[in-house]
A = this chain, B = another copy of it.
Amino acid sequence: MTTYVHGYNSHESRRLTDQAQTLADLLHAGTAYPPGSRVLEVGCGVGAQTVHLVRSSPGARITSVDVDESSLAQARARLPGHDFRHADLFDIGPFDTDGTYDHAFVCFVLEHLADPAAALARLRRLVRPGGTVTVIEGDHGSAFFHPDDPAAHRVIDCLVTLQRDAGGDGLIGRRVEPLLTAAGFRDVHTRPCTVYADSTRPGLVEGFTRNTFTAMVAGVRDEALAAGLVTETQWRQGIEALERTAAPGGTFHYAFFKGVATNP
């Protein structure tokens, strides 16, 4: 297993919840499963996306799994009665049968895996023929902003480097379509889900630029310094540069990618 670059502390848990609130409409639009359908959510973490899945598909039979027990404990507290299970995608346990599920959903998970292609191949086996998989991932290379500043890009690069060193890929959004196609899925539809924040959209500036993206980068400070990727001064300058994109006159662009594909 790879290390989860964002960590598991309570501040991180709050960040994931804020992020889910701000982004829910953007990312979950069009995702609704029919009543009675069996849905597998892999890598549910603290349940930030599970809340929205349940809301959008009230009659679906959704099973949510994660490898981290403490995250699952928070998820269970958040959504009592929901079917949360402790499992790895490659060892789903008693419900490990090919074609068990009608649909699979993975959000912000493939980016942390050393072999996302194998994960998708595994997911394809768990889904019945004619079922679908939905994949949502970010791409930190989609971040550009005003005022532009190399110091800001340097701290973003720290996150990408740490994630790569941990076996993941913070630039995976652009690979969602080729990964789905290579895994043998068909009718692959991938689209960018873009967040654009400027001074005319103060809620997005606060909810995304400041509390989601900048907070996410800020969260790897200690690791970046410990790894010697930047100096303390460079780190401070980079975070300050990101904060300026949330000040009056600043703008911020980020793209997630959402792919939906069918198991033939």
Contacts and interface: CB of A to CB of B under 8 A. Distances in A.
Interface stretch (A69-77, A190-198, A216-224): A190-198
B175 A251 contact: yes
Contacts of A182: 249
Interface string A43-78: 000000000000000000000000000000000000
A75 to B, nearest CB: 32
A225 B251 CA distance: 33
Contact of A200 (B190, B194, B196): B190
Contacts of A194: 192, 194, 255
Contact of A174 (B171, B175, B253): B253
A247 to B, nearest CB: 11
9 contacts: A139-B144, A177-B200, A177-B251, A178-B198, A181-B249, A188-B200, A190-B198, A191-B196, A194-B194
Oligomer copy total: 2
Interface residues of A, number: 29
A145 interface: yes
Contact of A148 (B171, B191, B192): B171
Contact of A175 (B146, B177, B189, B199): B146
A207 interface: no
A35 to B, nearest CB: 30
Contacts of A253: 142, 174, 192, 255
Contacts of A251: 174-175, 177-178, 190
A111 to B, nearest CB: 14
A129 interface: no
Contacts of A178: 146, 198-199, 249-251
A141 interface: yes
A174 to B, nearest CB: 4
